[in-house]
Structure 1
Amino acid sequence: LNFSEQHRKRIHEKIHSQDEREEDILLAIMQLLVQEKTGYELLSLLRGRGIQTFARNEGFLYTILHRLERSGWLQSSWDTAEVKYYRMTDRGRKILYKAEKSKSRRKFVLKGALEG
């Protein structure tokens, strides 16, 4: 059985994407948004951390950001060049602190964000 390079790459990506749990992705997003960033900057930094979940569906990141914003964990603003910036709110910082403090409660703490 022979696999093409492209097939091997897809298998490799699939294996890595299965290892990326939702709470780990949320935690990474929140850690990165301690300082204000654009969605594009955030996407690049997540890739730098090895998170490939958004590689083929970048729009999913914006869906998560919108849910975090609706939950009051993030806020956004537009600059004069119509670039949207995201940053964590005080409420988001408290949630991040709780999630980082207790790994066993992390899933419970972060669960509410994606359920909206």
Structure 2
Amino acid sequence: MEERLKKLKKTVDQTAFKQLEFTNEHQQNIRKQLQSASLKQQILSMLTEAKSGVELTQQLHVRAVEQIVENEGLVYSILHEAEQQGWLMASWHEGIKYYQLTKLGTKQLQQDSERIKLTLKQRILGVRMHVE
């Protein structure tokens, strides 16, 4: 672990978070929500330049995104949904479909980022209220 992260952990352990405990169920719920939202967010953020679904999938594998292991179809589902929402534009070149973020997609990416931060903050504060 980097030195700055060790210092942060030490500081957090010495504050109000010292008595904070997450139940396994709570941890799993937070992970599940963050993973589904963050996969969409990761995909959208990777599309500032045009990429094919295959390129995206390969990059997600390199990033070790567990959700797509043996489930690459999830990437295409997200791409299709984002295209239908107007967040992506698609074009065909030599039989390969390429996707790129639109202005609306950029706006959505920013909104999702803020929403995830807020959701995480609410969940953590919800857990803190249950600390004895």
Extract unaligned runs of 5+ from structure 2: 1-30, 121-132
Query: Equivalent pairs: percent with the same residue?
Result: 33
1: distance between equivalents of 2:62 and 2:33?
Answer: 16
1: distance between equivalents of 2:82 and 2:105?
Answer: 9
Extract unaligned runs of 5+ from structure 1: 1-16, 107-116
2: distance between equivalents of 1:23 and 1:49?
Answer: 16
What amino acid maps onto 2:35 in structure 1? R
Q: Which of the residues 23, 44, 49 maps onto 1:30?
A: 44
Contact 1:76 1:86 in 2 (8 A): yes
Report the 3-state secondary structure (helix = DSSP H, G, I; strand = E; otherwise coil) of the residue aligned with 1:53: helix
| Count of matched residue positions in the alignment of Structure 1 and Structure 2 | 89
TM-score calculated relative to the size of structure 1: 0.67
Q: What's 1:100 paired with? A: 113
Q: What's 1:91 paired with? A: 104
With over 3 angstroms needed to count, the CA separation of the structure-2 counterparts of 1:20 and 1:96, relative to structure 1, is closer
1: distance between equivalents of 2:106 and 2:89?
Answer: 12
TM-score calculated relative to the size of structure 2: 0.59
Report the 3-state secondary structure (helix = DSSP H, G, I; strand = E; otherwise coil) of the residue aligned with 1:86: strand
Q: Which has the higher helix share?
A: 2
The structure that has the greater radius of gyration is 2
What amino acid maps onto 1:44 in structure 2? Q
